[in-house]
Amino acid sequence: MFRLVRFGLSGAIVGLGLLGIQPVSAVGAPASGLAGASEVGFQTNTPVPMQTTSDANRERRRTKKLASGLSIFGLADRAFKAPIQVRKRTLAAHTVSAVTAPVPAPYRNPLRAATHIVSERIDQGVDYEAAGGSPLYAVGDGTVEMVYNWGWPNGVFIAYRLTNGPARGDYVYAAEDLAPDVSVGQSVTSSTVIGTFEAGADGGYDIETGWADGTVTAESLARTTGYWDGYDSTALGQNFSQLLVSLGAPGGILQGAVEGSLPPGWRAWP
């Protein structure tokens, strides 16, 4: 999921018109929900068989994210200040330098109670669609660092820091078409519902979940390490998909070449 390079709103709308894309305003909670800065920089089923997403559904998601990027132009209090140009690093081969770790009992499938799950693409994280009202749980014990950010579709970016297990100290995010059920500073466990699937601006029930960067406001770790080109899957997105599969969730769908590599010593999942 991506944000567009900042440019004039009128020029953006004209350009989209030529492409036949109609911008849609993102909906979500106000940017005032960003209260509660942390020390590291955040301000503020049993699984069903995997289903292949259609080309039309993928295009709907791409259009939705484009519209979300446009909807934030002109806001005086944008929720992020980081540069939005994507840095792409092309590697001759995808390499993973990781330590395989068994998945401990504290981690559980966050999609275990969701219904009508559709696996979608792996990009910065993993995209899923599910029936409205389906719950999304935390992966494990942690502390909520962020809930809202206008830089993401529907204005939702729930980020929490894991406090146990092999990924202790790392950050997980769940964003987009979610109605948050947690607040900044709240402690969560694998039994905590952090949000429920709700209809976004385009009528879909789509979320993205993956590894967040704890040092940058509302960013995925894949973006801040420069490995996302706007479409292809990333090594960090694939890694999070592998974690979810090890917990019993359906995996995401790879798109194009896998971009980048995992940080040194990063965990691989069985």
Report the pLDDT value the prediction gives residue 113, as an integer from 0 to 100.
97
Report the pLDDT value the prediction gives residue 127, as an integer from 0 to 100.
97
Contact (Cβ atoms closer than 8 angstroms) between residue 201 and residue 64:
yes
Q: What is the DSSP string of 91-140?
A: -SS----EEE-PPPTT---TTTT-SS-EEEEESSSEEEE--TT-EEE-SS
Report the pLDDT value the prediction gives residue 240, as an integer from 0 to 100.
98
Residue ranges of domains in the chain: 9-268
Report the pLDDT value the prediction gives residue 101, as an integer from 0 to 100.
54
Report the pLDDT value the prediction gives residue 58, as an integer from 0 to 100.
54
From first to last of the 270 residues of the chain, give the pLDDT tens digit: 433 333 333 343 334 344 444 444 333 333 333 333 333 344 444 343 444 444 555 555 655 554 554 443 333 333 333 332 222 332 223 333 344 555 556 899 999 999 999 999 999 999 999 999 999 999 999 999 999 988 898 999 999 999 999 999 999 999 999 999 999 999 999 999 999 999 998 899 999 999 999 887 678 999 998 888 888 999 999 999 999 999 999 999 999 999 999 999 999 998
Report the pLDDT value the prediction gives residue 130, as an integer from 0 to 100.
97
Report the pLDDT value the prediction gives residue 51, as an integer from 0 to 100.
42
Domain 9-268 sits in CATH at: 2.70.70.10
Taking residue 148's Cβ as centre, other Cβ atoms within 10 Å add up to: 23
Contact (Cβ atoms closer than 8 angstroms) between residue 63 and residue 151:
no
**Beta pairing, strands 118-122 & 126-129:** antiparallel
Report the pLDDT value the prediction gives residue 89, as an integer from 0 to 100.
30
Taking residue 83's Cβ as centre, other Cβ atoms within 10 Å add up to: 9
pTM attached to this predicted model = 0.67
Report the pLDDT value the prediction gives residue 189, as an integer from 0 to 100.
97
Taking residue 43's Cβ as centre, other Cβ atoms within 10 Å add up to: 17
Backbone angles phi, psi at 12, to 5 degrees: -65, -40
Report the pLDDT value the prediction gives residue 212, as an integer from 0 to 100.
96
